[in-house]
Amino acid sequence: VSRFENITMAPPDPILGVSEAFRADTHEMKLNLGVGAYRTEDLQPYVLNVVKKAENLMLERGENKEYLPIEGLAAFNKVTAELLFGAENSVILQHRVATVQGLSGTGSLRLAAALIERYFPGAKVIISSPTWGNHKNIFNDARVPWSEYRYYDPNTVGLDFDGMIADVKAAPEGSFVLLHGCAHNPTGIDPTPEQWKIIADVIQEKKHIPFFDVAYQGFASGSLDEDASSVRLFADRGMEILVAQSYSKNLGLYAERIGAINVVCSTADTAARVKSQLKRLARPMYSNPPVHGARIVSNVVGNPELFREWKEEMELMAGRIKSVRQKLYDSLCAKDKSGKDWSFILQQIGMFSFTGLNKAQSENMTNKWHVYMTKDGRISLAGLSSAKCEYLADAIVDSYH
């Protein structure tokens, strides 16, 4: 008898499990709108040209595979913080940011969670309802208590701003407030610039610590600066903030696991101490991070020519998503005779759309129409082609009514 006998079968991951089911389906119209990964109009994965160019540069230079320092590649840490805050931002000029390379967005969030667990015992993280499913797993495994604040209003398929503000106010003073920097996952609903100011006011009033998850910089609007404006608003107020970054989507480096955790502190001295403790937390977890993605990012962001090309490719990707969003909306309006207002689809931003389909309706999408999606009604528009918009609209209209 096995010593592991009492280990039960874990349930499949609600997002990555969708791809497994998709692969097993043989229907010709099948569509995978589960995982948030960019596809071309032919629904093929896409490696950015600038990534290939950066990789060629690396080969030409004959770079080695020695270990990186615990905090990661220095050139990467420099450019990643500059990309986020802007190179001329006072937090950069005053050396107030502790930046450590992480294992993409997830690993960077996990490192920040470990920092919270160690140095803020009992402090709570408040997360939006709903949020990216893995946030809960990350804080659970790091033993950081969390609770939810209201965010999504099913009646308007929009932001429950009053509910959000009330819940942020009601959280114990000094809580960490997890915010999606742009392109909220799963809803695609972001606060307006005016609403961001009020959110910042309330967080300051309550002495909370903002904790940004930035997984889509440049990918939401097509502009790197515009997508970082929420984070910069908080930094410009002199607040101490945490920011996790990911290059999975905007550079298409999903499997390279490249990202960073940035802790903005009130002094350079504090930032140095925070950084030393982040390294101390990273060392026993994974020792040091992988080099390949870090070199790609530092080559692309640090080279004016490649940087310019990257922005063009990113605009192209963001533009394709916007155009299928529009086409899906048009198809829904044309096909649905019930008079339902679908304009919420156009108000959402980023790679996801929250359709408002409930669990049973989402199951109908998959079982009858072979459209694979998460059961919360979220679809990834990055996995949709214009050619399949009408088919998807048929499926949605059928599932709704």
Tell me which residues touch ligand PMP (CB under 6 A).
Answer: 36, 104-106, 132, 180, 185, 213, 215, 246, 248, 254, 259
Nearer to ligand PMP, 180 or 208 (CB): 180
Q: How far is the CB of 267 from ligand PMP (least distance, A)?
A: 29
Pairs from 364-367 (Cβ < 8 Å, separation ≥ 24) = 364/398, 364/399, 365/395, 365/396, 365/399, 366/21
Whether 211 and 242 have beta carbons less than 8 Å apart is answered as yes
Q: How far is the CB of 384 from ligand PMP (least distance, A)?
A: 17
Nearer to ligand PMP, 369 or 377 (CB): 377
Nearer to ligand PMP, 71 or 213 (CB): 213
Clarify whether 249 is annotated catalytic.
Answer: yes
**Catalytic position from the list 160, 167, 190, 213:** 213
Nearer to ligand PMP, 248 or 353 (CB): 248
Angle, CA of 33, 35 and 38, to the nearest 5°: 80
Compute the distance between CA of residue 209 and CA of residue 268 in angstroms, rounded to an integer. Answer: 18
Q: Helix, strand, or coil here: 212?
A: strand
Q: How far is the CB of 301 from ligand PMP (least distance, A)?
A: 16
Nearer to ligand PMP, 108 or 175 (CB): 108
DSSP 39-64: B-TTS-B---HHHHHHHHHHHHHT--
Residue 26 CA, distance from chain mean position? 30
Tokens of residue 312, six digits: 């063009």
Residue tagged 């695609």 (tokens)? 188
Q: How far is the CB of 368 from ligand PMP (least distance, A)?
A: 27
Nearer to ligand PMP, 111 or 371 (CB): 111
**Catalytic position from the list 53, 124, 132, 369:** 132
Compute the distance between CA of residue 228 and CA of residue 214 in angstroms, rounded to an integer. Answer: 8
Whether 329 and 393 have beta carbons less than 8 Å apart is answered as no
Whether 179 and 346 have beta carbons less than 8 Å apart is answered as no
Q: How far is the CB of 95 from ligand PMP (least distance, A)?
A: 26
Compute the distance between CA of residue 231 and CA of residue 345 in angstroms, rounded to an integer. Answer: 25
Whether 178 and 213 have beta carbons less than 8 Å apart is answered as yes
Nearer to ligand PMP, 179 or 328 (CB): 179
Q: How far is the CB of 297 from ligand PMP (least distance, A)?
A: 12
User: What is the dihedral angle through the alpha carbons of 308, 314, 316, 322, rounded to the nearest 10 degrees?
Assistant: -140
Q: How far is the CB of 228 from ligand PMP (least distance, A)?
A: 15
Residue tagged 């995978």 (tokens)? 32
Q: How far is the CB of 227 from ligand PMP (least distance, A)?
A: 13
Compute the distance between CA of residue 245 and CA of residue 84 in angstroms, rounded to an integer. Answer: 8
**Catalytic position from the list 249, 275, 327, 388:** 249
DSSP 220-254: SSS-HHHHTHHHHHHHHTT--EEEEEE-TTTS--G
Nearest position to ligand PMP, beta carbon: 105
| CA-closest candidate to residue 332, choices 389, 379, 399 | 389
Nearer to ligand PMP, 97 or 243 (CB): 243
Catalytic residues: 132, 213, 249
